[in-house]
Structure 1
Amino acid sequence: MADICPDRATLELLELSAKMGARFSYREASEVLATFLPGQKASRFTTLRHRTLAVGKRIETTERHQHWHETLDYQNRKQLELDMSDDPASEFVFNVDTAHIPLVRHEFGPTFEAVVGHCGSGARSSSPGPVFAFEGTRPKELKAVATPALKRQGYADRGTITVISDGEECLKRLSGMLPQPVMHILDWFYIAMKIQPLAQLAATAPEALASLGESIERIKWRLWNGQAGRALSLMKELRRDLREQEMVSIWERRTDKSLETLQTYIRRNTGSVVNYGTRYRSGARIATSPAEATVNRLVAKRFIKKQQMR
């Protein structure tokens, strides 16, 4: 035991404590090290913290270097594809999301952007796969992490590859970095979240626009069935009807603003709107809920908070 590197042993002890559900502080870890490694206790627990972070940084750099040198066959796979259109288990799905994580524990302090995701089977009933996360949205980093994750899931030039995200440009680039063909899907949860304010406004619509609620339901139905073009046409008609009103009220301005937000979002991601109803009935994934849950856990760990939102 005397030959074990103290900072490496600390890292392993902290990892073990996390798996067991315990929560070690650096001061407690220092005392545990003094028990197992007599005479090698750090004079201050801050020294132990710096050593632990330095070891973690070296391990992270080594793993990143290995990922950058792992290769995956990027040849066109159309001639290798099998007919498995109705089998969600044959689909490899990337659930990816971004998070702005505070550098320090202050509500309005500086933050850094991180990409969090899962790579696993396309079936909703199956495991979303192991999590991967890294700082920043650099394309080289995204490719270096995503391709080995796909390989570890058993990808061998066969099967469908799908990327599900909230439509951010940095995440949509992932589709072009993976073996082709790849399909990008806009997360249905984000579409529904932009429709919800319109449904609430429709409940208080004036008599002249009493049919707004039915129109919002028609927009939702068209998007659910992959008819992005028809949904955009209906949104355009609704916005025109709002502008033709003689008296423009605050309610009409809010409704027009919400319609504009949804219209812009769908227009920018028209090619990523699919038939969600068909995918849902077949048991396939339509949202990035696994990645969202992981992001919530990461932010909760950072804030050491119990509630979901802050």
Structure 2
Amino acid sequence: MLESQGILPRQHITFLCDGGDTVRELGAFLHPRSEHILDWFHVAMRIEQLLQTVRGCQGSEKENLLKGIERVKWFLWHGNVIRADETLYDLVEEVDGVLEQDRQAGRPPSVVLKKLDRALGEFATYVDNNAGAIVNYGERYRCGERIATGFVESAVNQVISRRFVKKQQMRWTPRGAHLLLQVRTQVLNDELRASFERWYPGFGAWDQVPLAA
């Protein structure tokens, strides 16, 4: 695919990914002289999930937790992984402290705080694992450089369309799904007719046949 787009072996290329281990390894395998950037779309999506969880809290700690997560977002936007890490672990300690206070007071632990505690720990691990791929997104954005793959997500949704969603009530084999996606991609790129003409040289000849009077 890279060769078909004119990418040369020594040419610099940037990969944006969601931070999964296998995806990071794939980029390095495909192109050794590549730069890897954690997709801001996925970072922001995870942060929004944290904010949504905190909004479900009822205690006095809610406002401070919201501000803390917003600080984490600001630090990551500017590529400051160290400060983002410190703030995340401070938030984890704060949540753990509230849960411990509830335990000592004999109160049942907050389900929301337990969920938040786990989510903050997972996000901190996610940031640590992708620290080398976190850049100054604000600077890149101001320079007109790509920081997210939202346009790719949109294209994927367009290709998959309703064929693969549950309400279609259809089951697909891996081969069938693979072939259908190839066809849909060529239709969207307006390339399907050219492919048929290449496979079947006589295809479309009837278009030139004059109609009988």
Q: Which interval holds the TM-score relative to the shorter structure?
A: 0.5 to 0.7
Cα deviations by residue, 1:115-154 (Å, 9 ceiling, x for unpaired): xxxxxxxxxxxxxxxxxxxxxxxxxxxxxx33x045x25x
Alignment-mate amino acid for residue 121 of structure 2: E
Cross-structure match for 2:65 = 212
Quote how far apart the aligned CAs of 1:215 are.
0.6
Does the 8 A contact of 1:194 with 1:261 survive in 2? no
TM-score normalised by structure 2 residue count: 0.65
- Tell me by how many angstroms 1:259 deviates: 0.8
Post-superposition CA distance 1:197-247 (Å, at most 9, x none) = 222233344114431111111000001111122211211111111111211
Are residues 230 and 301 of structure 1, via their aligned partners in 2, closer, same or farther at CA, if it must alter by over 3 Å?
same
CA distance in 1 between partners of 2:54 and 2:43 (Å): 17
Tell me which residue corresponds to 2:94: 241
- Following superposition, the deviation at residue 157 of structure 1 comes to 4.6
Question: Are the equivalent residues in 2 in contact too, given 1:300–1:306 (CA < 8 A)?
Answer: no
Q: 1:185 maps to which residue?
A: 37
Give the conservation status (yes or no) of the 8 Å contact 2:40–2:137: yes
The equivalent residue for 2:147 is: 286
Count of matched residue pairs: 158
Shift of 1:275: 0.6
Residues 1:168 and 2:20 are matched in the alignment: yes
- Aligned match of 2:128 in 267, 271, 275? 267
Q: Give structure 2 stretches of 5+ with no counterpart.
A: 103-108, 169-213
**Structure that is richer in helix per residue:** 2
Structure 1's 304 and 186: CA in aligned 2 closer, same or farther, altered over 3 A? Answer: closer
Distance 1:156 1:169, change over 3 A: closer
Alpha-carbon distance between aligned partners in 2 of 1:149 and 1:169, rounded to the nearest angstrom = 26
- Partners of 2:42 and 2:51 lie apart in 1 by 15
Tell me the distance in 1 between the aligned counterparts of 2:93 and 2:42: 25
Root-mean-square deviation (CA, aligned residues, Å) is 2.5
- Aligned twin of 2:183: none
Instruction: State the 4+ residue runs in structure 1 displaced beyond 6 angstroms.
Output: 304-307
Secondary structure of the equivalent of 2:37? Answer: strand
3-state DSSP class of the match of 2:19? coil
Q: Say if 2:48 is the partner of 1:196.
A: yes
In structure 2, distance between residues paired with 1:242 and 1:202: 11
Match of 2:157 among 296, 300, 303: 296
Q: Distance in 2 between matches of 1:232 and 1:156?
A: 36
In the aligned structure 2, how far is the partner of 1:304 from the partner of 1:213? 34
Are the aligned partners of 1:188 and 1:286 in contact in 2 as well (CA < 8 Å)? yes
Contact residue 9 and residue 31 of structure 2 kept, 8 A: no
* CA 1:203–1:301: 2 relative to 1, 3 Å: closer
The structure with the greater share of residues assigned to strand is 1
What is the deviation of 1:179?
5.0
Alpha-carbon shift at residue 169 of structure 1 (Å): 2.6
- Aligned to 1:283, what secondary structure does the other structure show? coil
Against the structure 1 CA distance between its residues 255 and 304, is the aligned structure 2 distance closer, same or farther, given a 3 Å change threshold? closer
3-state SS of 1:183 partner: strand
Q: Confirm or deny: 8 A CA contact 1:163 1:175 kept in the other structure.
A: no
Query: 2:141·2:147 contact (CA, 8 Å) conserved in 1?
Result: yes
TM-score (norm 1): 0.46
